[in-house]
Amino acid sequence: MNFEKKRNIIFVLFLLIMFSILSFSCIKKEYKYSDVAYFAEPIIQDFCAGFTKNDYNEFANYFTLYFSKPIPQESLVTLFTKIGTTIGSYVPNSISYKSVKKVKNIFIIEYTASFTDETEPVSIILNFEKSLGEFKLVGFTVDSPKLRNTNN
């Protein structure tokens, strides 16, 4: 083999290797609920039950210090009370998983659940981050037609 052929073969191999590295490094991991259920399932259950019981302490221990420290407990209690009185009590065993994605180091998990005073499923999104070795809540969203129409 002459030098020119060797150089071309090496160049083609180099391009193939670089293309492979770039292709595999750009692949985003798809997460399934089974990847997060071990930490998310007990929290979503307590989260929904907390609205029914109107009990902030039911799920306050799931918040990271970053989330709970700057927000006074009274403000969260008022928020949870308002949500609970607007949508009613959680209907047991009505939680349905919708999706999970990871953005940077935060898992965003979406559910729907039924509540007694809401005709449509209530959307609940929980945001988790690993804190001191365990996953904790760093944010949440609760959405429903009645909550959107509340003027207070």
Q: For residues 137 and 64, is the Cβ–Cβ distance under 8 A?
A: yes
In the chain, what is the straight-line distance between the N-terminal and C-terminal CA atoms, in Å?
82
Whole-angstrom distance, CA of residue 75 vs CA of residue 50: 15
pLDDT at 125: 94
Whole-angstrom distance, CA of residue 95 vs CA of residue 114: 7
Whole-angstrom distance, CA of residue 77 vs CA of residue 132: 25
Q: For residues 107 and 31, is the Cβ–Cβ distance under 8 A?
A: yes
Ordered domains of the chain (ranges, CATH):
30-148 (3.10.450.50)
pLDDT at 97: 94
Task: Give average pLDDT by consecutive 10-residue segment, the chain, 152 residues.
Answer: 63 54 58 91 86 69 73 79 88 93 92 94 93 86 89 56
The 3-state DSSP class for residue 150 equals coil
pLDDT at 112: 96
Q: What is the CA radius of gyration of the chain?
A: 23
Is the overall model pTM greater than 0.85, yes or no?
Answer: no
